[in-house]
Structure 1
Amino acid sequence: MIILLIWVVVLIAVVVLHLRQVYSTFSRNGIKHFKPIPLFGNMFKFILRQEHVAYNLCDLYNSFPKERFVGRFEFLIEVIVLRDLELIKKVTVKDFEYFLDHRGFEMDNYFSRTLLLLKGQEWKDMRSTLSPAFTSSKIRQMVPFMVEVGDQMIMSLKRKIEDSGDDYIDIECKDLTTRYANDVIASCAFGLKVNSHTDENNQFYQMGKEATNFRILQMIIMFILLNVPKISKFFKWDVISDAVKHFFTNLVLNTMKDREIRRIVRPDMIHLLMEAKKGHLTHGDIKSNDEVAGFATVEESAVGMKKITREWTDRDLVAQAFLFLIAGFETVSSTMSFLLYELAVNNDVQERLVQEIKEHDAKNGGIFDFNSIQNMTYMDMVISEVLRLWPPAVAMDRICNKDYNLGKPNEAAEKDFILRKGAGVMIPTFAIHRDPELYPEPEKFDPDRFSEENKHKINVLAYMPFGLGPRNCIGSRFALCELKVMVYQLLRHMEISPCKKTCIPAKLATDNFNLRLKGGHWLRFRLRK
């Protein structure tokens, strides 16, 4: 018994000494950070659902205003959080080759083959392969599919108002926008016609919902996959279920096979992936007159402009189609729901946007197409401000692939900090977008920040809803076009206002890693007179 007790004491001592060693790196190098909780690091409040990760990062960012970078512990893993904009520029643009990759999974799973998590030369080649698919000329051809989906949504809303017995209905807008985004991605990416507003439990919607519902348990598994890959590899953990993987694999491959046999050409992502596999996509129109480009649009770098001869497997192409689903289903629908929320609680903004829509509607003779969203200045201002206040991703990450000198963490530091190969850095987008030094009254929804008179005041390095540098979001044009089409159609027919369940002031729910309002995105819809 005494021997067992001695071994227990020794084991505890070893663990304590190890944790002390792990959690002392930042202190030894003069890097400011919050005191970690053993084993949990700085993740304790997040795990207990006491605080959303966006607010957690804001707290860290705001607590050390004189630091160029600070430290954060994700369980036992050290992550450097960048604060200085010039340093962020160096990491994402100037010294991009040092920080080429995102954190990823060691195991060769479904997610790791997507453009998001491919590494090194494979990522460069895939980026070059896919970038021609996201030019304005390609997106222009998809707008009729978006409009068709929008018409279905409007018809459904009108029917529900008519059946309600009142002149309004209260809607949970995250559900509404998710169904809209689901149907757009089904049509524009997979060539499917579904109506999730009437067929509420269709298989495509259910599978998309399962694939993107990142609740706390899924996020814990995700952090383990990223930070302790050997454990996840041993237990064969994955954030995507086998049922979801099988469904989308069969859907993509069967659709491709059917189109090859029947020689079907439909201007959607499946077609573009088939063209990419054959090497038929070119960059010829990537610099064309970019009508859907707005303030938030990111430009393709030289990395994505190279001609690639690499042959991709069917599995690689399925993975990219799946990534389109994830991005379209969750990030776009989330931005849409916050857009509708801000329009509802800022009625002056809504009415000014409605007036612009009416003017363009009259000018185009009531016809709505790609041209309808050209040169809509206020529309772009509103979208740009939504993306500032509620960016699709609260943070970006990079992995250092060779030792890198980050410089001194602050002016008082005695020595530079050398970031070692394999270490992670994080860019807190949500916190930077709400920094009062960069955006006066940052909590205020103010589209006039992006007016012709004011937008020159914005530091372009401090605005990153779609990322910075060569690894920015490849689908920014598609996302912006979809947002504008949706709000154009909706405001033509509907007046949006708060209801009793509306979360005022806005506060993020803590039970989900994704951006959600506490209590849901409830708003009131009336037919516009």
Structure 2
Amino acid sequence: MIFYLLGAVVCLLLGQYLLQTSRFRRYGVKYVTPVPFFGNMAKILLRIKPNSELLIELYNKFSTERFYGRFELLSPVVEIRDLELVKKIAVKDFDNFPDRRKANADFDIGIVRSVAMLTGQDWKDMRSTLSPAFTSSKIRLMVPFMVEVGDQMLMALKEKVKNSKTSKIDINCKDLTARYANDVIATCAFGLKVNSHTDTNNEFFSNGKVLSTFSLRDNIIFMLSSSLPFVAKLFEFDSAKADRFFSKIFAHTIKDRQAENFIRPDLIHLLVEANKGKLTHEDTKSDESVGFATVEESSIGRKQVNKVWSEKDLVAQAVVFFIAGFETISSGMTFLMYEMGRNPDIQERLVQEIMETDAKNGGKLDFDSIQKMVYLDMVITEVLRLWPPVVNLDRLCVKDYNIGKPNKTADKDFIVPKGSIVSIPSFAVHRDPTYYPNPEQFDPERFSDDNKHKIPPFAYMPFGVGPRNCIGSRFALCEMKIMTYQIMKHFMISPCAKTIIPPVLATDNMNVKIRGGDWMAFECRE
């Protein structure tokens, strides 16, 4: 009996494989022949190649195409290369692609009910509910919490230098920035005081690393939820236990605050107030940009809604903000310090602006002074171009969509079937020499006032594109700028014996990071 069952499964997989490849072939859509079951993911799943490298490889291979095909396990993915097509899918024809890839609703993890994964009207209502909590005026109130966390980090670093036998100490930047990001989210989102630089093994940080890493196994389960949902739901995410840990903390904090009538201007307070309908959408002009990378809220997010969400729904939002904030900040800041270390001229120019700003403001660090720093914004913007936190942006097609011909020689329009995944390879677009000359070079001048107008629309998307862009872009940019300001003011960063130059990307998970750690030497400026 078991042999018949296995045979049926093999036939099913083979049939789906032939069906998907033949569809691309019939319409002249180019693709790399997939390996049965693994698709084009075999080298990634076997940890031979990082996902970002595969995206660039395919992007360059099909340089004459408007779009091409790739396979995630058994699921065909239409990869978009043409920027006009990116605009149509992400903005103009958004109603055809309003959702991200769906997670199996049976998964007992908060992210399933988060604004990142909700679909249809639920997503629209949640986005409208939450967007007033992420405006510049709300983030302004959280800056003192970020500065306090940065001060704790500086004290710990200076103590390490003091206790060392040399003036320089080798620092794993990924570990340093992860602890900073963890503590900022602890105070800004959960209202908790955590010092992960001294209490290195605290439970909040340990669970945070598990929750935000999203292991290779978790990614496989997530991909299976699209192609084989009945198989995927048999497994539990590695991060499920950590998810329950943070959900419990958040739920208890809400209850404690309500019981004590305690108010603190952090994310918990804003979520509760938003759910009561007490937050209002700011006028576009009054909601300042916090840099070139800022994404604007669409009309969908600015609508007024009267829906009241359950506590479980609010908990899910807090969990996904932790995941997004932890990895986005730690990854972005790690690469920023890496680029400062190997580009000392850029580092010194940035430090000069920081010192001038510091003197002008009498040592005070606040939201307004950060936003006036032009070169700091250029540096952050270039870091997010060269090392975007999300390497590709996916959208779910909710009704059949005519995407046109894949290239000039094709004789048929390709119809994207309902339920298909369409993806935008942002990591590859950001490294396309057509849009960014000498793209591998770290060059903040690309985003100077004289040059930034040369960048085509939709060629820069570190926080996504269209109505489903990152709701927390202002928060992330402000946090990155504050951490950069504090570290660069007090420390000089340079390569050490452990620094890997040029960078070699790790293959042990789906996030972009440097193999062997991200080590740099830190030396006190004073």
Q: How does 1:405-424 map to 2 (within 5 A)?
A: 405-424=402-421
How many Å apart are 1:6 and its aligned residue?
11
Q: Shift in Å at residue 212 of structure 1?
A: 1.6
Q: Which residue of 2 aligns with 1:65?
A: 63
Deviations 1:320-359 (A, max 9, x none): 0001110111111110100110011100010000000011
Report the TM-score, using the length of structure 1 for normalisation: 0.96
Shift in CA distance, 412/522, structure 1 to aligned 2, threshold 3 Å:
same
Cα distance in structure 1, aligned partners of 2:237 and 2:7: 36
Code of the residue aligned with 1:105 in structure 2: it is A
- Matched residue type, 2:116: L
Matched, 1:479 2:476: yes
1:126-141 alignment to 2 at 5 Å? 126-141=126-141
1:402-427 Cα offsets, whole Å, 9 max, x none, are: 01000000010001001111011000
- Counterpart amino acid of 1:358? M
Q: Give the distance between the partners of 2:9 and 2:181, measured in 1 at CA.
A: 52
CA contact (8 A) 2:291 2:371 kept: no
1:286 is displaced (CA, Å) by 5.2
1:104-140 deviation per Cα after TM superposition (whole angstroms, max 9, x unaligned):
1232432210000000110000000000001111000
Of 519, 522, 526, the residue aligned with 2:519 is: 522
DSSP 3-state at the match of 1:30:
coil
Whether the aligned pair in 1 keeps the contact of 2:13 and 2:37 (CA below 8 Å) is no
Aligned to 1:161: 161
Distance 1:494 1:21 in 2: 58
Paired letter, 1:240: S
- Helix, strand or coil for the counterpart of 2:496? coil
Unaligned runs of 5+ residues in structure 1 are: none
Deviations 1:455-499 (CA, angstroms, capped at 9, x unpaired):
110112100001111111100000000000000001110000010
C-alpha contact (below 8 Å) 1:69/1:83 kept by paired residues:
yes
| Residues 221 and 235, structure 2, Cα contact 8 Å, conserved in 1 | no
The size of the alignment, in residue pairs, is 524
Q: What SS does structure 1 have at the residue aligned with 2:286?
A: coil
Aligned 8 A contact 1:222 1:239 in 2 = no
Which residue of structure 2 lines up, in the alignment, with residue 240 of structure 1?
239
Q: 2:100 and 2:11 mapped to 1: Cα distance?
A: 35
- How do residues 322-361 of structure 1 correspond to structure 2 at under 5 angstroms? 322-361=319-358
* AA at the equivalent of 2:236: W
Partner of 1:504: 501
Displacement over 4 Å in runs of 4+: 4-18
Task: Give the C-alpha shift of residue 216 in structure 1.
Answer: 2.1
8 Å CA contact retained: 1:221, 1:239? no
TM-score normalised to structure 2 length: 0.96
Structure 1 match to 2:205: 205
The answer as to whether partners of 2:431 and 2:440 remain within 8 angstroms in 1 is yes
- The change in CA–CA distance for 1:349 and 1:15 in structure 2 (over 3 A counts) is closer
Q: Is the 8 A contact 1:113 1:319 kept in 2?
A: yes
> Structure 2 CA distance, aligned partners of 1:7 and 1:209?
40
Tell me if the contact between 2:80 and 2:422 (Cα under 8 Å) persists in the aligned partners: yes
1:63-98 CA-to-partner distances (Å, cap 9, x unmatched) read: 011100000011111110000000000000000010
- Choose from 438, 443, 456 the match for 1:446: 443
Distance 1:55 1:44 in 2: 13
The answer for the alignment partner of 1:177 in structure 2 is 177
Q: Which amino acid aligns with 1:276?
A: A
Residue 184 of structure 2 aligns with an amino acid whose one-letter code is V
Say if 1:367 and 1:42 are closer, same or farther in 2 by CA, change over 3 A.
same
Counterparts of 1:289 and 1:106, CA distance in 2: 36
Residue 265 of structure 1 corresponds to: 263
Does the 8 Å contact 1:135/1:285 carry over to 2? no
1:104 maps to which of 102, 110, 113 = 102
Aligned to 1:318: 315
Q: What is the one-letter code of the residue matched to 1:405?
A: N
Q: Report the Cα offset of residue 371 of structure 1.
A: 2.3
Distance 2:256 2:306 in 1: 25
Percent identity between the two aligned chains: 57
Q: After TM superposition, list the pairs within 5 Å mapping 1:75-94 onto structure 2.
A: 75-94=73-92
Letter of the 2:307 counterpart: R
Contact 2:75–2:226 (Cα < 8 Å) also in 1 = no
Instruction: After TM superposition, list the pairs within 5 Å mapping 1:368-517 onto structure 2.
Output: 368-517=365-514
Q: Deviations over 1:260-290 (max 9, x none)?
A: 1211110000000110121111113554151
The one-letter amino acid paired with 1:389 is L
Give the aligned residue type for 1:278. K
Aligned to 1:274: 272
